[in-house]
Every structure is written in structure tokens, then in C-alpha cells.
């Protein structure tokens, strides 16, 4: 998959011992904010709408809206589908020309997870599209789906999952959680280090709320892609509330204020992972 943009971005991150930020954009405004943030930082970025966002706008409409920004960007920008359990939807993204998809059958027994992931991999690779898969269960709320209990991934099962599915990037459950942390997360740095850069690139989910040192250690251990979703939503809504509190604000001024806040917050993550 040397010619696939998602794979190239992750391979470059591995080579330079850095990680790429993968951000769950919500609409056109956040696409512009994240692409500008990446350009400011001079770093590639992955735009990864959640399934809810894809259903809201449609596979094709989102593809075309983002493709304009991708084409005009001064840095590499990949379009990736996040956490998809719907094989038909993942295949629609693949046919439409998205760079990559993440399928998540991690709540199913190992053999079932492998079989479904493998089905998407075989389909995606025919179109030159990359696939990320999850092993072990990452706790928290993502796209309205609640996973109460985390189920940590082991080295042996992660390697078996990678080898049996042929995926291009792996998201093992390492103790991070989607959404906000209630305590200090206990991260399995050992697993990230063991997987390191020897297998396919390692993806960290649940980036929001991790401390700076946690990010830096994960990258040092070999993490190549770090997902950020909740932080963008929080900044977006916070900036929107602030802008609306102004006596009379024009819609375009409102958009600019929200975009600027999102851009600066996301630029900080992109630069931190560099």
C-alpha cells in the first residue's frame, strides 16, 4: 500500500519518530480550521469523520467537500472514516475514494473480529484504500456508542490480529478511553513499545485529556497516529457560546471566531505530536 496517502503519512511518522494527529472534524468549518492548523504547523493531518457525521452529510457530499480542502492544502491531508461497524458504509467510503477506513469489531469474539475486518481489508485493498482495525476494547463514548468496560489488548493477540487480517494500522486497547477521563489513565506503554515500529503503525484512540508527557512517551514508544475528537467538540461549543454572548454578531463573524478557536486548539496538538 505504498501509494496510499494514509499509509505514506503513517510511514513518514514512524520514520521521523513522530505521530500524526487524526481529528474528528464535524463540518466544513472544522475542516477549514484543522487544515489551516496543519498548514500553520507544516505537518500532515488526518481528517476522520465519525459515522454519525458521515450519515449526517452523506459519503459523497463529505468526500467532495473535504476533497477541495485536500487538493488545495499545502500539507498532506488524508480522509479517513473513524470507528465503523457497518460494513456497507465502510465499503461505500472505499468505493467513493476515501483514503482509509477504520473498522471496529472489537466487541466481538476474536475470530469474528478477524473475519469481519479481513472482509473489509480484502475489499479495500482492491481499491488501494487502507484499513485500520481495533483489538481489545477501548472504553468511553465515541459517536454515541458507550463502551463501559475496557478490555486490554495483549501483545500476542494484537500481532495475531494484524497478521490474520492484513490491516494497515492497528489500534490496540492500551488503557486510553474516548471522552473525558475521570482519573489518571494507566497506559500500557509496554505494549506500544513491543509493537513499536516493527509491525503496522500503532494508533492511539482517546487522545483528549491525556497529559503532555503521556503523548510524548507514547510517541517515543512508537505510536504513529493519535486521535482527537472530544477536545474539538469542546472548543467548538465553548467558542460558539462565547461568540453568541456578544450583543450582535454577524453569522460570518461568528464562524470566524469559532474557526479561529478550533484552529488554535488543534494546532497545539499537531505541533505537540511532531
**Residues marked as catalytic:** 82
Could you say whether residue 52 binds ligand 13P (CB under 6 A)? Answer: no
Half-sphere exposure of residue 246: CA atoms within 13 angstroms, side-chain side: 11
Look at the alpha carbons of 169, 172, 176, 179 in this order and tell me if their dihedral is positive or negative: positive
Which position among 39, 178, 192, 269 is part of the footprint of ligand 13P (CB under 6 A)?
178
Given the complex with ligand 13P, which of 43 and 205 has the nearer CB atom? Answer: 205
Residue selected from 97, 166, 179, 185 as contacting ligand 13P according to rule CB under 6 A:
179
Minimum gap (Å) between residue 210 Cβ and ligand 13P: 8
**Nearest distance from residue 50's CB to ligand 13P, in Å?**
7
Between 94 and 265, whose beta carbon lies closer to ligand 13P?
265
Task: State the CB neighbour count (10 A cutoff) for residue 159.
Answer: 17
Least Å from the CB of residue 184 to ligand 13P: 15
Site string for ligand 13P, 142-171 (x = CB under 6 A): x-----------------------------
Exposure string over 76-106, b if 16+ CB within 10 A, otherwise e: bbbbbbbbbbebebbbbbbebebbbbbbbbb
Judged on CB neighbours under 10 Å (0-12, 13-18, 19+), 25 is buried
CA angle at 235 for the pair 38 and 245, rounded to the nearest 5°: 130
Site for ligand 13P contains 80 (CB under 6 A): no
**Shortest CA distance to 48 belongs to which of 26, 17, 64, 15?**
26
Q: Which residues bind ligand 13P (CB under 6 A)?
A: 24, 82-83, 142, 178-179, 205-208, 227-231
Amino acid at each position: 500500500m505504498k501509494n496510499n496517502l494514509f499509509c505514506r503519512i503513517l510511514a513518514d511518522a514512524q520514520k521521523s519518530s513522530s505521530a500524526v494527529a487524526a481529528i474528528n472534524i464535524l463540518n466544513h468549518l472544522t475542516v477549514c480550521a484543522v487544515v489551516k492548523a496543519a498548514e500553520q504547523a507544516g505537518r500532515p493531518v488526518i481528517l476522520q469523520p465519525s459515522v454519525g457525521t458521515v450519515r449526517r452529510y452523506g459519503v459523497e457530499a463529505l468526500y467532495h467537500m473535504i476533497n477541495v480542502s485536500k487538493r488545495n492544502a499545502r500539507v498532506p491531508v488524508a480522509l479517513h472514516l473513524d470507528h465503523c461497524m457497518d460494513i456497507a458504509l465502510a465499503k461505500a467510503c472505499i468505493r467513493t475514494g476515501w483514503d482509509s477506513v477504520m473498522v471496529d469489531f472489537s466487541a466481538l469474539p476474536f475470530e469474528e473480529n478477524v473475519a469481519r475486518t479481513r472482509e473489509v481489508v480484502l475489499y479495500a485493498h482492491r481499491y488501494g484504500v487502507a484499513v485500520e482495525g481495533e483489538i481489545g476494547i477501548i472504553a468511553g463514548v465515541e459517536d454515541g456508542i458507550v463502551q463501559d468496560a475496557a478490555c486490554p489488548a495483549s501483545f500476542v493477540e494484537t500481532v495475531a490480529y494484524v497478521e490474520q487480517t492484513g490491516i494497515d494500522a492497528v489500534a490496540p486497547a492500551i488503557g486510553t478511553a474516548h471522552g473525558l477521563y475521570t482519573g489518571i489513565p494507566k497506559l500500557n506503554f509496554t505494549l506500544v513499545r513491543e509493537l513499536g515500529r516493527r509491525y503496522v503503525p500503532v494508533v492511539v484512540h482517546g487522545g483528549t485529556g491525556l497529559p503532555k508527557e503521556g503523548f510524548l512517551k507514547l510517541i517515543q514508544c512508537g505510536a504513529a497516529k493519535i486521535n482527537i475528537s472530544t477536545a474539538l467538540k469542546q472548543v467548538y461549543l465553548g467558542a460558539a457560546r462565547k461568540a453568541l454572548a456578544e450583543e450582535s454578531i454577524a453569522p460570518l463573524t461568528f464562524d470566524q471566531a469559532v474557526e479561529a478557536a478550533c484552529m488554535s486548539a488543534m494546532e497545539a496538538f499537531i505541533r505537540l505530536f511532531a
